[in-house]
Every structure is written in C-alpha cells, then in structure tokens.
Amino acid sequence: MSRKDCRAYSTLYTWGRAKNYRLGRRGTRDDSCQPEPIKIFDSCTIQQVACGGGHTLVLLDNGSLYSFGYNQYGQLGNGTKVDSPLDASRDISNLSTKLVAVACGRYHSAALDVNGAVFTWGGGKNGRLGHNDEQTRTIPCRVARLPKAHKIFCGYHITAAITDNGLYTWGWGEHGQLGQGSLDDSCVPKKVVFDDSDLSIAQLACGDRHCLVRTESGDVYTWGSNEFGQLGIGQYDEIISSPRLLTSLAGMIITFVAAGDRHSAAVTSTGALFTWGCGAEGQCGHGDYNDCDMPSLVESLAGVCIVKVFCGHNFTVALSKENDIYVFGNSSYGQLGDGSKSSCCIPRKVVFSIPGSIDVACGHFHCTLWSTVEEPMETTNNYENHRIRKESVDSCSTSSGSVVDEQRRLEERISSLNERLVNLVGLNETIIHQNLRQLQSDNDARETLQGILCD
C-alpha cells in the first residue's frame, strides 16, 4: 500500500521540568517523571519537535508551527514575552511559505522554509539571530546574507545552517564554538572552512560551547571548548576554534551525533553508542561519574542496536532499532522519564510501549517524544480505532493488570509528595532569586541570571 493511501496520526509526549509551561500543560507546576501525552495533536501529523532551554516548538507536516514554555526573550515567536502553555489556536508560522524544519537554542529559535530561507527570533545577544545586531525579536525574521539552506541547528547561544555553499554559523564565539578560526562573536552568518573542501556535511550537533559535525561518509569533526574532554581529542583544557577530524573514531562509520551541555555522543553503523566529555552526573553512561577525554563505548548497551542519541543538559537518551528508550545521567526533575528522580550512570530502559515510528528531542531539563502511526484511508471507523490504541498507549498498559495497578498507586504517591513539596520549592526559589539578584553587577550578567532562574 502506498503512502498516499494512508493517513498518519501523531501523539506528543513530554516529561521532566515543568516550570514556565515547558511541558505544554496548563495549571500545573508539577514536574513529570514519565512521558505524559499532549492530546492536542492527536488528529495531526507531527513533522518535528525542538526543545530549547525552557521552551518547545512543534512543527506539523502542513507547515503549522506551535510553541510553548519560557518566553522572556520572545523565543516562542508569538509576538509577546509572556510564558505560555500549548495553545492549539496560536499558529505562529505566519509566513508566505511553508516551514519544513525548526531548531531551538537556550533563549532563541530558528525555522527553515521550503525555499531554503532561514528565520530566527528570540534573544539576540552575541548576534545569535544573524541580523547584524543584538536585538531581541518576538516574531520570526528572515536571515539575510545566507545561501539556500537545507538544514538548520541551534547551540545554546549559536545558530547554524547547512547550505548550498557549505556550513555557516553565527552567534557567541568566545570558546571557538563557531568553528571560524577565532574567538570572536559573529552577528551575521560566516562560512566554516574545513581542510577537505569537498566533504559533504550530513549533520551538526551543538552543545553549550562545542560542536560536532558528521559527514556523509561517516567521519566526525569537532571544535570549541574542551574543558571536560567533550571534543574527544584525548586531552583537556584546550580551545579548538577550527574543525578538527576526530581520529579516535577512525575506521568507524558514524551515523548520528549529539552534543549536550559539556558531553558528546555518537552512534556507529553497527548500532554501537560512544560517549565522552563531562561525566559528573553519569551522563556518559560508563558506570562512573568521571570525565572522559576520548570516545568510549557504552558497554552495557553493547548488545542493543542504537540508532539515535540525544543529549540534554547533563543527561542522555538513546533510541534503539526496536523503539526502546534507554536513559542515563541527571534526573533531578524527572527528565530521564523512567518514573523516578534518581540519577544513574548506567543506562536504564524506559518501560513505555508505543506503536509506530518515534523520535525524541531533549531540552535543558525536559524532553519530548512524538510517535506517528500510519493507517489505511479506506478503513472504516479509522479514527475510533486510532483513539482506542492511543488510550491503551497512554495508560502504558502491559499484559499484567497488577503492574498497571502498581504503577497507578506509585503515581498517586508521587502526586501527593509533589503537592507537599510545592511550598518548599516556592520558598527555595524565592531565596535563590534574592541571592542571585545580589550577584548581578552589570547589564551583561542579566541574561545569565535570568537563565539560572528559569532553569
């Protein structure tokens, strides 16, 4: 049966830190320790989801774009600076052409249209919006001086695009993370020069202060800060401001790369997962809490075929060929999604049955997952069958009713504890807010301060 004879339905799930509505839900401050459905898009097809520091973008296959979460810098693109839960009536893709991809930085956002034009909005400090200034913009604005783009990416404070003429980056450059051979910021897109001018770039992964490039041939290049070994070059405390071939992965064909705050990950064509960099929260998955300056195999997943990997602030999510999800690292806000807030340095499998194809996006302290199921157009009661299946997925049902009952009891206990902690959390946040305000000495520190309060 051809694809045109089918209709696709998607479901969006979110979990982790709930502050600033970044999980999309109204009327709750409770963090979520396991994936919970957002039913607004049940009858739609999700093209892509992107997560930033405290905000989320959802792009549908028809080009509609929705946003929710932290909005102090206008990163939601809805013309305001007000935090917002998910609103299905507010499509922010008010452009003359169809959007095909999105990306999120910590305080800014980007989108790509079908014609290869790039649009950015949000906080403009260090030139990360690419408009030759540092102004904040609350609606999408087109980036000039850029060749036709095919893919877009955001780091914490940079933006990048793979174009007809190669890779271009712009934004904060203090740690060499722009890959332009200097430590200068760039308020306009500039081309990244590689030793091999003929290489074809397939993917870019951006962390806080470093980047990874995967080529079509399966090689990896790195640049930026190497304070915690996140460049994988076998040493620490060095800044590399131009692309450097990662020789430690030589002989392997890399099919996917990811960059967290200060750690990195790569998947090989055989399904092996390698991680390196900061390991203080167990985010490298090596069974310890040590930093690692060279790519090292995540040995406990050696028998699993990993196809994609995603990195948050200090945690990692791996997706297997069988659609199983494995998590490790920090889970202080439930961002591992395994039902607890306990961190781990060895991968845990998330018990979560989902039909269809799935994909994942990680933010600073929250995650999203979207699943898509294709159904024949001619089937009667098609939507009703789809609804029933979704309800069974939403309940995370298993073959054992006792397991479901136990899970419900656990959820009730967690909910009760969360309610008791709300007042304490509010008090702590007030104290933190007051102390941080005392540390603010000039205007340049304001964004960092507000970001800490948001996180």
Secondary structure of the chain in HEC code, one letter for each residue:
CCHHHEEEEEEEEEEECCHHHCCCCCCCCCCEEEEEEEHHHCCCCEEEEEECCCEEEEEECCCCEEEEECCCCCCCCCCCCCCECCCCCCCCCCCCCCEEEEEECCCEEEEEECCCCEEEEECCHHHCCCCCCCCCEEEEEECCCCCCEEEEEECCCEEEEEECCEEEEEECCCCCCCCCCCCCCEEEEEECCCCCCCCCEEEEEECCCEEEEEECCCCEEEEEECCCCCCCCCCCCCEEEEEEECHHHCCCCEEEEEECCCEEEEEECCCCEEEEECCCCCCCCCCCCCCEEEEEECHHHCCCCEEEEEECCCEEEEEECCCCEEEEECCCCCCCCCCCCCCEEEEEEECCCCCCEEEEEECCCEEEEEEEEEEECCCCCHHHHHHHHHHHHHCCCCCCHHHHHHHHHHHHHHHHHHHHHHHHHHHHHHHHHHHHHHHCCCHHHHHHHHHHHHC
Residues 426, 307, single domain; the answer is: no
* Section 365-380 average pLDDT: 82
Write down which residue in 380, 400, 420 finishes a domain: 400
223-233 per-position pLDDT tens digit: 999 999 999 99
What are the backbone dihedrals phi and psi of residue 222, each rounded to the nearest 5 degrees, phi first?
A: -135, 160
- The number of folded domains in the chain is 2
238-247 per-position pLDDT tens digit: 999 999 999 9
Residues 324, 367, single domain; the answer is: yes
Residues 286, 427, single domain; the answer is: no
Query: Does residue 326 surpass a pLDDT of 60?
Result: yes
CATH of residue 218's domain is: 2.130.10.30
Residues 396, 365, single domain; the answer is: yes
- Strand 149-154 versus strand 137-142 pairing type: unpaired
Q: Tokens at residue 438, please?
A: 């005392």
Residues 377, 416, single domain; the answer is: no
156-177 per-position pLDDT tens digit: 999 999 999 999 999 999 999 9
Residues 256, 180, single domain; the answer is: yes
- Highest-confidence range of 42-46, 85-89, 151-155, 379-383, by mean pLDDT? 151-155
245-264 per-position pLDDT tens digit: 999 999 999 999 999 999 99
CB of 78 within 8 A of CB of 90? yes
Q: Which residue has the higher pLDDT, 21 or 374?
A: 21
- Residue 370's pLDDT is 96
Q: Which residue has the higher pLDDT, 356 or 431?
A: 356
Write down which residue in 400, 430, 446 finishes a domain: 400
Query: Does residue 389 surpass a pLDDT of 90?
Result: no
Query: Does residue 235 surpass a pLDDT of 70?
Result: yes
Give residue 447's pLDDT band: very low, low, confident or very high (50, 70, 90). low
Write down which residue in 400, 426, 444 finishes a domain: 400
Residues 325, 422, single domain; the answer is: no
Residues 390, 434, single domain; the answer is: no
- Residue 395's pLDDT is 35
- Residue 449's pLDDT is 54
Residues 97, 208, single domain; the answer is: yes
Its pTM stands at 0.84
Residues 169, 227, single domain; the answer is: yes
9-27 per-position pLDDT tens digit: 899 999 999 999 999 998 7
Residues 361, 417, single domain; the answer is: no
Tell me the pLDDT of the chain averaged across its residues.
87
Residues 161, 108, single domain; the answer is: yes
100-135 per-position pLDDT tens digit: 999 999 999 999 999 999 999 999 999 999 999 999
Query: Does residue 137 surpass a pLDDT of 90?
Result: yes
Query: Does residue 85 surpass a pLDDT of 60?
Result: yes
35-77 per-position pLDDT tens digit: 999 988 888 999 999 999 999 999 999 999 999 999 999 999 9
| Domain containing residue 452 | 401-455
Q: Which residue has the higher pLDDT, 186 or 237?
A: 186
- Residue 398's pLDDT is 32
